[in-house]
């Protein structure tokens, strides 16, 4: 999933850069090479998205299969118990409802995992920014005090006279 997020990020960045620098690109760069590179990256991004969608659908199908298998086994074993008059039909119905309710938290766990994976690149970028030292790269300057404080902006007002 992080691979797809990186590709989408690169693709969005490249798109914004092309739109912003279109006149320069038209003057300097050969358009065919740029378009071919862009289209190739677009295909790779689409293939990654399709693969992620397939993986998510496969996980959902496994979940549905688990749900169907558990309901089937409860019906089979419970039906046999009802025929032997060990349990009533109401208890069998309750067991089926409990099995269906068991499936819901499993789906919620899968969706939570997916949400965390979607947010992981953003969390990584934010933590990288927060851990960044207050020092200019490739320079000898390091601030002695804190770079935090209040900024006061004063703009003189001119009264308009008529």
86-135 per-position pLDDT tens digit: 888 898 898 888 888 887 787 778 778 777 877 777 777 788 878 877 66
Q: Which of 104, 103, 89, 96 is nearest to 71 (CA)?
A: 96
Higher-scoring residue by pLDDT: 141, 65: 65
103 contacts 60 by C-beta, under 8 angstroms: no
For residues 75 and 71, what is the distance between their CA atoms, to the nearest angstrom? 6
Q: Which whole number is the average pLDDT over 128-150?
A: 71
Higher-scoring residue by pLDDT: 102, 28: 102
Higher-scoring residue by pLDDT: 125, 162: 125
pLDDT tens digits, 50-88: 888 888 788 778 878 888 898 899 899 998 898 888 888
pTM flag (> 0.85):
no
Least confident of 10-14, 19-23, 30-34, 156-160: 156-160
118 contacts 5 by C-beta, under 8 angstroms: yes
């Amino acid at each position: 999933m992080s691979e797809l997020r990186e590709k989408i990020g690169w693709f969005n960045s490249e798109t914004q850069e092309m739109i912003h620098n279109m006149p320069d690109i038209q003057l300097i760069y050969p358009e065919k090479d740029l378009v071919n590179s862009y289209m190739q990256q677009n295909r790779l991004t689409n293939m990654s998205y399709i693969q992620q969608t397939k993986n998510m659908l496969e996980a959902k199908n496994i979940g549905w299969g688990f749900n169907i298998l558990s309901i089937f086994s409860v019906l089979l074993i419970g039906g046999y118990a009802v025929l032997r008059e060990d349990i009533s039909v109401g208890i069998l119905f309750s067991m089926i409802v409990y099995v269906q309710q068991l499936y819901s938290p499993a789906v919620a766990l899968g969706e939570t995992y997916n949400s965390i994976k979607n947010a992981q690149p953003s969390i990584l970028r934010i933590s990288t920014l927060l851990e960044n030292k207050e020092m200019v790269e490739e320079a000898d300057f390091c601030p002695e005090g804190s770079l935090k404080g209040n900024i006061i902006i004063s703009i003189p007002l001119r009264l308009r006279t008529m």
